[in-house]
Structure formats: structure tokens, C-alpha cells
Structure 1
């Protein structure tokens, strides 16, 4: 380009062009020529190099090369060709001398200044270096994105997300790129700028507080396997109840069951408590924990007529007979009189009802039998005697789980009167109206 520039100077002078226009016209023409050559080289590189790479990637069986192409890694590398052209042609307007400008004789400096631009090379070199910096950032960002996508295709990605770490590396790359840009523009050593940033450490800690906390939290979440994409978590303090769809350096996104999105700071999952329902999902069952309140006024001992009727129920026939035989033998050993009824042991309608629920649930095809299985009485309160069902369904799908639970309690409410029991229910307006009419 030095030769072309010199030729343009001589040719323009030979054409009789005004002297003060000769030098800028030659320089402008060379700049246009350099830009065109750089653009053409980039165009050819894209058309040839990228086409070859894409064809090779399409023919291979591995997926990682397709991911590199899809994330435009090679497209970024193609920009290196015009960048090198701009860099090595930036000094076209600088004379071919090996002496420092400050050491030149004033007359020589004046003579050379008529044909050459002393500062243009510096400006063009700055632009080419900035171009290199942008290319490096672009390619590095593309490689990191491709690496993350490649990692997500492995079996480890489901258990440990590295998206937060990738984002941290990106922040570091952009930070260093910013230092390089400033050093190029100010013509300062980057190490000097980095040393000066030591005094700004406190400010940086404040600016990047969430990022630093998020990075530490990401390490803890990953190392302790606390949460991963696809987990169902519940965090009442942030009104989150749903599936984790994204984990980044600063935030965790949860898609709630109503399809809204809740964004939680990553460090909040470490500093605050939350429910992770992963254990429930891995167990193969989903808990049913619900109680029905029995009116205590309806609880009583079973007489012979009641026991005879209960023996007609297939599910509890064996239990009623065996239990009655056991109690008769016990009472017989106590030599109790017929009048001393309360000193002996007798079956109650609520006890038989509780046993009925146990046998009924043991035979239920939708109840998982190898997990916790309880049919128990809770402490009686002012609203009756709670009989609690604590079992696990073998279907975890929300709609199916709710249907199973509803079917079980539909049956329970319907069968309670057969045991001469009544569900406790607070008085309603209709009850009060009936009471007034009776009075």
C-alpha cells in the first residue's frame, strides 16, 4: 500500500490536481481500496471457508461441530482475515524510515509532511486493534455459548447446570475487553490500568454485589445438588411454586402452575429456605394427607345388631369376627357381670370405621403400598374427631393425583353413615332456620 499511495501522489500531481488536494485524495483513495479489499476478502472467506466447514460438519456424525457452526464460531473467525489486512496496511501513509520522528531534521520532517500523514497510521492502527478486540470477544462469546450447548447434550447437564459459570466467564471477558479498549484509546499499558483498578475494588464490590453473591450461590447449589432445571420447588417468600426453567448467575426462573414466571435471586435459594419436591418425584408417589372430622356425639359402642350388620361387609368381616372373639375372651377372664358393661373391652363404630378405611386403601389400585401408610386419629378438637388419611398415590401427575384423592374422599363421605357416624359440620343458615321453625 505504500507503493500504491506513492503512485497515486505522483499520478495526481501529473494530472495537474491542486496541490492541497493531492495528499488527502490519495489517502482517501487508499483507505477506500483497503476497505474494499478487506470486505472482499471477508466475503470470499465466508463463501468458501464457511461453506467448506458447514459441509464437513453436516457429514460428520458428531453433534459438537454442528453446534459450533450454529453458534457462528467460524463466522467470527472469518473476520480475522479483514482484520489482519487492516492492521498490516494501516501505515500506508507513513514514510518508510527507521528513525524516530523527534530525531528527524526539521527540513526533512517538513519535506516528508508534504506527502505523508504522520498521525493517520496511529488512528488506523487503533481502529484495527479495536476491531481485533471485538472479534476476540465475539468469538469467545460464541465458543462459550457453543460449549454450554454441547454440555447440555450430556447426561450431567440435567443434574448440574454450568450456565452461571459460563456467564461469569463472559463477564470476565467483557471486563478485560473493556480494559483493552481503554488502553488502546489512551495508548496506555493495560497492566497500569488494572493496577489502578485496585483502588476501585470497593466500588466494584458494590456494583457487582449481586453477581458475586450469585456466583458463590451457584457453586453451593451445584456442589450440594440443591436445585436443578426441571425441579419442582416451592418458595412462599417469593410466591414461587412450580418448575425451574432456567438457572443463571444472578437469577433462577420458576414457571408457576398458573403459567406465570417468578424470578428469584440465586443467592436467595441459599440464604432462605424452600421446598424441593424432587424427592417426592423420585420416590414414585405423591402424598395424600387429608382428614375428615367425625361428630363425637355419634361415637358409641357396637351392639350385637351393629356387629351383625358389619359382618356383612366383605372388607371388614374377618376383622370384626376376630376382634369380637378376642374381646369376649378378655372380658370372660375378668369375670364381669352383665351390668358392668363399661369395665370390659368392646368394639366401637369409629374403630371399625378406621379399620375399614385401612383395608379399603390397602386394596386400592392407585395407592402405593411400599411408602408411608397411616389411617390415624388426631387429637380431638372443638370441631370433632379428625380421622386422617396419610398415604401416597402411585400417580404423580397433578390432575390424576387430585382425581384419586377426590374419589377416595367421595367414598369416605358416602360410607360414613353406614357406621352410624356423622361428619362434623358447623351450623349453617339452613340449620338455624329449621331450628327456629321447630321452636
Structure 2
């Protein structure tokens, strides 16, 4: 091939001599012409190579069952490798075409070396992106994402490549250039502060298993309340429930607090913690008629009978006078109501019996007596959870009057109008 270039130079030289040009000028023109043709040939070689890859190799790879090669195609790995064809052609043959331009050969070789470095960086970048995408196809990647690590490796590669290019331009080797850059390390630390903090934060998040892709997190400081989509070098991307996207600095998840709902999802139960305020004026001791009425409620019958026996036994032992209500023990309608709620919730298959299960009375206030339901559903799916919670409190609100209780609420405008008309 080298002899062919020399023959080509001689061929153009003869043509130029026949045209009557001086011999010293024909050498320059003929070599420059061959050099230009070599560049055009290199470009043509790239076009042909890429067309063969695109028309033949890539369709074959897409038909294969291997997913890795599909990802290589997605990240243009083969196109970037095709850049090596013209680079190698120029590397091996350009010097022969420029032997009478020794000063230009040095400049061209320096440009060619920079071209090789850029191609190498692009190829490695594409390969790293492919490896990350391939890794993310596995389920365990959600708990141990490597995207942040891949990004820091890319940054290191780009920095090394940039240093090689600068060293090439300044005619310095890499080690001496790094030493000289040590004097401006403070500036570099300032420039790369966010990536460094992000990398440190990302590694802590991953290795301490504080955060995974797919986790539901809440971080009001950044307006985040949704699912983690990506964990990058400097940011964590969260999709809120209203479908908006929030980006949080990775290091902020270490320096600030956030709430991760993964524990709830892994436990298989989601908490219901809601109370209803009972009007204190409606609380009373149960009469015998009320108790007979409550016994007709299937899930309360056993409780009423058992409790009445215990109360009767206690009152006999203490000699309490049953004619005075405050003497001895008596059941109250609000106590029976709490017992009903427990039995009702235990009867529901969508409520966990083996998790925290409370029906409790909270501190009375000017808004009445809060009766709180504190239980866990057997589902963590949001829509189903809301349906279960609504069903429970629909039933509770409807059943309260059966116990001669009233729900406390501030009077509405309609109620006030009725009072005004009555007066």
C-alpha cells in the first residue's frame, strides 16, 4: 500500500511535469494531492464500513436472542468502532504522503493521536452505558444500582482523556501534567464539588441500602412524594403521584432526612390511623333495654353476655347497690361501641390480625371524644387501601346512632338556619 502511495505521487508528478510546472513545485503539489485523496479515501472507507455494519451486522444482531448486542446497537457502539477505520488508514499511510513536509507530519500525528483518544473515550462511554443498561434488566439492580458508579468512571475517563489531549498539545507526558495540576487542585475540587459529594452520597445510599429504584419516598423540603426513578451521580429523580418529576441532590438524602415507605411495602401491611369524634353529651350507661338490643348484633352477643356475667359477679362481691347507677360496674354505650369496632375489624379479611391492632379512646377535647382506629390492611396498594379505609369509616359513621351515640361536628350553615327558624 505504501508503494502504491509512492506510485500515486510519481503519477501525479509526471502529469504536472508534462503540464510544464517546475519540478520543485510538482513534488509539493503531487504529495499534497495524494494526501487529500488519502483523506477522502479514509472517509469513504468509513462510509462503506458503517453501511456494511448498519445493513448487514446490525439486522443480524437485532434478530438474535442476545439482549446485550441490542444494547450495544442502542448506544451506537458499532458506529463509534467504525471511526477507527479511517483513523488507522491515516495512521499507517499519511506519513508516506507527507514525507516532504516533516514539520506538518508532527502536527498531523498530534491531531491523529487526539482523534484516537476521542474515539477511545466514545467507545468506552458507549460500552459502560451498555453494561449499565444490561445490569438494570435484573431485579437485584433496583436494590444495588450502579448508574452513579458508571457515571463517576465516565468522568474519570473523560478527565484522563482530556489530560492526555492537553499533554499532547503541550508536549508533556501525563505524569508531569498531573503534578502541575496539583497546584490548582483547590479549583478542581470546587469545580467537581457536586459530583464528588454526589458520588459519596450515592455510595452511602447504595451500600447502606437506604434507597433503591422503585422505592416510595417523601421529602417535603424538595416537594418529593413518589417513586424513585433514577439514582444518578449528582441527583435522584423522583416521580410524584401527580406525575410531576422532582430531582433531589444525591448528597441531600444523606445530609437531610427523608421518609422511605419501603418497610411498609415489604411488611405487606399499610396503616390506617384515623379517629372519629363522639359527642360527649351522648355518652351514657347502658340500660337493660339497650343491652338486649345490642345482644341482637351477632358479633356483640358473646361479648355482652360475658361482660354482664363479670360485672354481675363483681357487683355481688362488692355489695354494690344496683339502684344507684354510679355504684359498682356498668357498661356504657361508648364502651360497647369500642368493643363492636374491635369485633367488626377482626371479622374483616382485609385487616391484619397479627400486626398492631388498636381501637382506643384519645384525650377528650372541646371537639368531643376521639375514638381512634389503628390497624393495618393486608394490602399496600394505594387504591385498594383507600377503598378499604373508606368502607370501614362509611360503616362506622352509619352504625354510631345504633349505640345512641352522636358524631361531634361543628354546626353547618344549614343547621344554623334551622335553629334560627325554630327560634
Fold equivalence (TM over 0.5): yes
- 1:149 is paired with a residue whose SS is helix
Matched, 1:195 2:179: yes
Instruction: Provide TM-score, normalisation by structure 1.
Output: 0.89
CA distance in 1, matches of 2:138, 2:413: 63
Tell me the alpha carbon deviations over residues 245-294 of structure 1, each in whole angstroms, 9 at most, x when there is no partner.
11100101111011111110001111111111111111222211100001
CA distance in 2, matches of 1:176, 1:433: 80
Alpha-carbon spacing, 1:77–1:175, altered in 2? closer, same or farther (3 Å): same
Structure 2 segments unaligned to the other structure (5+ residues): none
Q: 1:426 aligns with which of 392, 410, 422?
A: 410
- Tell whether the 8 Å contact from 1:148 to 1:166 is kept in structure 2 after alignment: yes
Q: 1:80 aligns with which of 78, 81, 84?
A: 84
Matched residues, number? 419
Matched, 1:160 2:147: no
CA distance in 1, matches of 2:168, 2:14: 34
Residue 245 of structure 2 corresponds to 261
CA distance in 1, matches of 2:53, 2:381: 51
Q: 1:71 aligns with which of 57, 75, 86?
A: 75
Tell me the alpha carbon deviations over residues 100-152 of structure 1, each in whole angstroms, 9 at most, x when there is no partner.
xxxxxxxxxxxxxxxx2232212221221121111101100111011111211
Q: 2:32 aligns with which of 17, 21, 28?
A: 28
CA distance in 2, matches of 1:435, 1:74: 83
The within-5 A match list for 1:351-362 is 351-362=335-346
Residue 287 of structure 1 corresponds to 271
Instruction: Provide TM-score, normalisation by structure 2.
Output: 0.93
Tell me the alpha carbon deviations over residues 318-357 of structure 1, each in whole angstroms, 9 at most, x when there is no partner.
1111101110110011112244431301000000000101
- Tell whether the 8 Å contact from 1:315 to 1:359 is kept in structure 2 after alignment: yes
- Tell whether the 8 Å contact from 2:91 to 2:112 is kept in structure 1 after alignment: yes
Query: What's the Cα RMSD here?
Result: 2.1
| Residue 9 of structure 1: how far off its partner (Å) | 3.2
Residue 336 of structure 1 corresponds to 320
CA distance in 1, matches of 2:290, 2:206: 61
- Tell whether the 8 Å contact from 1:93 to 1:118 is kept in structure 2 after alignment: no
| Residue 52 of structure 1: how far off its partner (Å) | 6.5
- Tell whether the 8 Å contact from 1:92 to 1:121 is kept in structure 2 after alignment: no
Tell me the alpha carbon deviations over residues 22-58 of structure 1, each in whole angstroms, 9 at most, x when there is no partner.
3553233112221122123324433556766547645
- Tell whether the 8 Å contact from 2:75 to 2:130 is kept in structure 1 after alignment: yes
- 2:299 is paired with a residue whose SS is coil
Residue 416 of structure 1 corresponds to 400
- Tell whether the 8 Å contact from 1:293 to 1:424 is kept in structure 2 after alignment: yes
Q: 1:204 aligns with which of 157, 179, 188?
A: 188
- Tell whether the 8 Å contact from 2:228 to 2:239 is kept in structure 1 after alignment: yes
Alpha-carbon spacing, 1:436–1:52, altered in 2? closer, same or farther (3 Å): closer
- 1:382 is paired with a residue whose SS is coil
- 2:110 is paired with a residue whose SS is helix
Structure 1 segments unaligned to the other structure (5+ residues): 96-115
Residue 235 of structure 1 corresponds to 219
| Residue 399 of structure 1: how far off its partner (Å) | 2.0
Q: Could you tell which deviates more after superposition, 50-59 or 68-77? A: 50-59
CA distance in 1, matches of 2:326, 2:381: 49
| Residue 14 of structure 1: how far off its partner (Å) | 3.1
CA distance in 1, matches of 2:108, 2:84: 16
Alpha-carbon spacing, 1:133–1:380, altered in 2? closer, same or farther (3 Å): same
